[in-house]
Amino acid sequence: MRLLPANTGQDMKFADEMVDRVLHLARTDPTLVGVAGMGRNTAYSQTAITRLANAGLAVLSTVNSSDQHPGLPGYYGLAATDHQEALATQAAVRRELRGRPVANALVVQRAPGPSRDAYSKEIADDVTAVLRPRDSERVVYQGAGDLAGQLQSACEKARTPFTLVYFAGRAEDMNALMTGLADGGCTRRRLVLVTGDDMTKVRFGSGSLDIPIPETVTVYHTAFVHLPTLLRGNGDRTNRFLILARNELGVGRPRASPDDPLLADGQMALTYDATAVLAQAAQRAFTTLGLNRAGPHRVAGSASVTSGSVLLELARFSTLTAATGAIDFTRDARGPDGPKNRGLALVRVALDGSGRAVSTPVCGRLSGGKPFPGLSPCPAR
């Protein structure tokens, strides 16, 4: 397996140029069999992924949660979709509001802006459709610079207090979000703040780089990979990815911790899995075609593993030894909501009696659809 790093630039802005180069290589080198990555959902990445899929190249995506991409041939995303994340947030509402409907919700969405972000609006729309608040207001912000002011204004003008805030933004804007909610008075009363998987990059607490949580606020966020679960039972001594990360990169040395800054958001593990799956599919195609044998055992006309043969293997691919658990593409639904067996957990973050931020998973499933230890699956409809 040869790996060719390709840089799509900040916010995937050069994804189209990257695809031009990949397709040029693929026309002259049939051993170029697929692309791993494409993890950010922007207009740039959407166009790039569609072009790659239409050209017959496999795309193994890491943390791209688009509702639309699972319908593309040859696309295999390792993350749950935005719609599935929205469905999971029902567990937070049931737990905190005890069955009562959401009376007044504030939905905070980032504008597409120069990055042409497609994630924020999609998941904001999904959450609004799933939770169906009696009343709601939507704040659309450009960046961290105007977010706090807009939220302060929304909180001050609200005729009835917001019972729930859904933040469909990015981790880098979380500090501005908390500032705006506090300055506007939204945190004077009990408030449920729900957000997406990007918050796995955030560390809540009172440290110099932490995001503080008011006593009145309970945070819920989704997570595609829950690191503490991967580490259970000496997982960092048995998980192949964690062993390689420690021995080759010094990550998680001497023992990986649940809040390791390079492992906590799961992106490194999912990138490892996307690359490893592509490599294993190519290896299986090599064996299926008989290229490891001479004479009549070799499939007629086969000289090398190609993108087509890899796509055939991916459609029937499954493994129990991925970094994030199991991976099974054999039951993938080719529809707008995608497969139902990608890892997804809902995590609750709140202050304990000593003022320390404590994270606790409340529902979930592991990658491959395996049960989450000691927890029920999150709502899926």
pLDDT in tens, 256-279: 999 898 999 999 999 999 999 999
Supply the pLDDT for residue 229.
92
Q: Taking the domains of the chain in order of start, what are their residue ranges?
A: 10-77+267-323, 84-224+343-365
With beta carbons less than 8 A apart as the criterion, state whether 352 and 311 touch.
no
Supply the pLDDT for residue 338.
82
Supply the pLDDT for residue 141.
97
Supply the pLDDT for residue 120.
96
In whole angstroms, what is the distance from residue 62 CA to residue 39 CA? 5
In order of 279, 281, 291, 316, the CA distances from 312 in angstroms are 14, 9, 16, 7
Q: Domain 84-224+343-365: which CATH class? A: alpha beta
Indicate the residue type of 87.
L
Supply the pLDDT for residue 290.
86
Show the low-confidence residues of the chain (pLDDT under 70). 295-302, 336
In whole angstroms, what is the distance from residue 125 CA to residue 288 CA? 44
Q: Please spell the DSSP secondary structure of 133-173, one letter per residue.
A: -SEEEEEEESSHHHHHHHHHHHHHH-SS--SEEEEES-GGG
In whole angstroms, what is the distance from residue 338 CA to residue 170 CA? 23
List alpha helices for the chain, DSSP H: 15-28, 43-54, 82-88, 90-97, 119-131, 144-157, 174-183, 227-230, 235-238, 240-249, 267-288, 307-314
CA atoms within 13 A on the CB side of 218: 15
Which is it for strands 344-351 and 357-365: parallel, antiparallel or unpaired? antiparallel
Name the one residue in this structure whose structure tokens are 């166009």: 47
Supply the pLDDT for residue 21.
95
In whole angstroms, what is the distance from residue 339 CA to residue 328 CA? 10
With beta carbons less than 8 A apart as the criterion, state whether 338 and 64 touch.
no
Give the pLDDT confidence of 87-103 residue by residue, as tens digits: 999 999 999 999 899 99
Distance, first Cα to last Cα, the chain:
40
